[in-house]
Amino acid sequence: MISKWILKAIVQKTISYLPYSQRINYFFQKYVTKGVQLSDAYFEDRLGHAKTHIEAWEQFSGGRPLRSTLELGAGWYPVVPIALYLYGAETIRTADITLLSDAGHLRTTISKFLEYAERGRLTTWLSFRPDRLEQLRALVAGDKPADFETLARTLHIEYLIQDARHLPLPDGSIDLVHSNNTFEHIYPDILIDLLREFKRIVRPGGVQSHFIDLSDHFAHFDTSITIYHFLRFSPAAWRWIDNSIQPLNRLRITDYRRLYREAGIPVDKEVLRPGNVEELRKGSVDASFLQNTEEENAVSHGHFVSRQEL
């Protein structure tokens, strides 16, 4: 019997060659792998990211109000941008190479925030402005639902659908740049340029806050493999498995530290989930990763916070 991860890899590799590949992949994940619903688990995970981004801002910004933000990786459900809107940010941008969201996804996300507010659970994750929560209620009230442009504009969200290495933003114009498990989908020659662009647009004293998932994402779908499964493949073999729909760069924590150094960005705070060395040892590791220690290869998640020099 073919493993689930192999089947998913074959399907996504095939989809990657088709027109409208992202939309086709969305329907594949929605109806086959069940991976794109706005579940409570996913919503709370993203609320946790928003909470941590805000805490990073409050810790490193010197008490300044948060005005302008930029997210890398817009995705389908703008949980973090709406959380930042509720917190009080004025200009909220989210950049991606493809627009995945639409009015339905925005309304679903708003409804989830309102559901959590009604259940008294939103304050667990977020301090918010009551007037902005009322604005969310107004957006989904009435018989005629607002269109995508109206929803985004009211939420102060601007979608930048383009190569984020060349953003149409002035130098030093953004308070907070953040991402949520997006870096692992970007190859290093592109990621280094993104980091340099972020350094350009963050204002002096501004903050970057980035979550990175260093695990094999096929293991999120197929429990028969470990989160280190993809480390067994050589770079040449991985190119046959990897796809442009959800690419995985397989970088380890040492690689991200190196890229930050090359971009001239300090890591002022690093929080790592160490992973499981014993589980790593149960599988093979390709020679291309053996320059790292086992502990470095085993790191499964990271969070980097950087403060822009004054």
Helix (H), strand (E), coil (C) string for 14-81: HHCCCCCHHHHHHHHHHHHHCCCCCCHHHHHHHHHHHHHHHHHHHHHCCCCCCCEEEEECCCCCCHHH
Is residue 125 domain-resident? yes
- pLDDT per residue as tens digits for the range 37-81: 799 999 999 999 999 999 999 999 998 999 999 999 988 999 999
Angle at 114 between CA 112 and CA 115, to 5 degrees: 65
CA distance 241 to 132: 45
The predicted structure's pLDDT at residue 12: 79
The predicted structure's pLDDT at residue 32: 55
Three-state DSSP at 307 gives: strand
- pLDDT per residue as tens digits for the range 199-220: 999 999 999 999 999 999 999 9
Is residue 3 domain-resident? no
Radius of gyration in angstroms for the set of CA atoms belonging to the chain, rounded to a whole number: 20
The predicted structure's pLDDT at residue 122: 97
Is residue 223 domain-resident? no
Strands 91-96 and 68-72: parallel
Is residue 237 domain-resident? no
Exposure string for 155-166, b = 16+ CB within 10 A, e = fewer: bbbebbeeebee
Is residue 242 domain-resident? no
Is residue 23 domain-resident? no
Are 173 and 69 within 8 A, CB to CB?
A: no
The predicted structure's pLDDT at residue 20: 59
Q: Tell me the CATH number at 117.
A: 3.40.50.150
**Which helix H or strand E contains 296, and what residues bound it?**
helix 294-298
HEC profile for 92-117? EEEEECCCCCCHHHHHHHHHHHHHHH
The predicted structure's pLDDT at residue 6: 77
By C-alpha distance, which of 80, 73, 76, 90 is closest to 56?
80
Determine how many CB atoms are found less than 10 A away from the CB of residue 61: 17
DSSP string, 150-188: HHHHHTTEEEEES-TTS-S--TT-EEEEEEES-GGGS-H
The predicted structure's pLDDT at residue 170: 98
Are 268 and 60 within 8 A, CB to CB?
A: yes
Per-residue pLDDT of the chain (310 residues; tens, 9 = 90+): 677 877 787 777 777 666 656 665 665 565 455 556 799 999 999 999 999 999 999 999 998 999 999 999 988 999 999 999 999 999 999 999 989 899 999 999 999 999 999 999 999 999 999 999 999 999 988 777 889 999 999 999 999 999 999 999 999 999 999 999 999 999 999 999 999 999 999 999 999 999 999 999 999 988 999 999 999 999 999 999 999 888 999 999 999 999 999 999 999 999 999 999 999 999 999 999 999 999 999 999 999 999 998 7
Strands 202-213 and 91-96: unpaired
Domain ranges, residue 106? 38-163+171-214+251-307
Per the structure, the count of domains in the chain is 1
Contacts of 210 (CB under 8 A, 6+ apart): 72, 178, 179, 182, 183, 303, 304
**Which helix H or strand E contains 219, and what residues bound it?**
helix 218-221
Is residue 226 domain-resident? no
Is residue 235 domain-resident? no
